[in-house]
């Protein structure tokens, strides 16, 4: 059994909270940082791992609770890994639809064979704000970018992310299936092992 029965999630994203809580199960209760503060920390790291640690420390400092942060995004091979750590702000913070439109535009004349991509997730868990040894777990989910959006589920770039094994976009997968296959699911499976919850 883990020492954590309650964690604060360093995210205001309700979709992410729901997804991660479903993966964690009932053993650990996730609370949103939104209960404690509406301010987002500046993500000044140059990698998913750095930003996850930065967000986790900030959430632990504000809430006084152990904190879990997820920094994730989409890395497109043809774009040299972009949008990468800037995935959520790719279209200057104008939201998912604008991000998806910008990505489609960037890949306008790129053939299927060169549209490979992966969703990346870095999870960081800190016991307290100054924890010298954060628990870090990463997950990758390989796919390719479609030429147009498909599906109504999920959020972010899910409608553009083709999952070859399922012959569907991430946004066409039932939540339970996505929660089993995704980058976040893979990182969370590692975290659950580390916490003795697997």
Out of 70, 71, 92, 96, pick the active-site residue. Answer: 71
**Secondary structure letter of residue 40 according to DSSP:** P
Q: Is 71 known to be catalytic?
A: yes
Long-range contacts, 145-154 (Cβ 8 Å, 24+): 145/76, 145/103, 145/104, 145/107, 145/115, 145/117, 146/115, 147/104, 148/104, 149/100, 153/178, 154/15, 154/178
What amino acid positions are annotated as catalytic residues? Answer: 71
């Amino acid at each position: 059994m883990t020492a954590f029965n309650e964690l604060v999630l360093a995210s205001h994203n309700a979709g992410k909270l729901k997804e991660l809580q479903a993966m964690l199960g009932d053993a650990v209760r996730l609370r949103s940082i939104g209960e404690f503060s509406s301010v987002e920390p500046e993500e000044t790291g140059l990698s998913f791992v750095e930003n996850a640690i930065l967000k986790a420390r900030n959430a632990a400092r504000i809430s006084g609770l152990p904190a879990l942060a997820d920094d994730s995004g989409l890395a497109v091979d043809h774009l040299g890994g972009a949008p990468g750590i800037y995935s959520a702000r790719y279209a200057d913070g104008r939201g998912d639809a604008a991000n998806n439109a910008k990505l489609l535009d960037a890949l306008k004349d790129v053939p299927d064979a060169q549209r490979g991509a992966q969703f990346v997730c870095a999870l960081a868990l800190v016991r307290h704000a100054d924890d010298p040894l954060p628990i870090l777990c990463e997950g990758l989910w390989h796919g390719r970018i479609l030429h147009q959006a498909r599906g109504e589920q999920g959020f972010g770039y899910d409608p553009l992310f083709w999952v070859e094994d399922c012959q569907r976009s991430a946004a066409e997968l039932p939540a339970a299936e996505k929660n089993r296959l995704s980058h976040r699911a893979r990182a969370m499976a590692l975290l659950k092992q580390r916490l003795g919850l697997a």
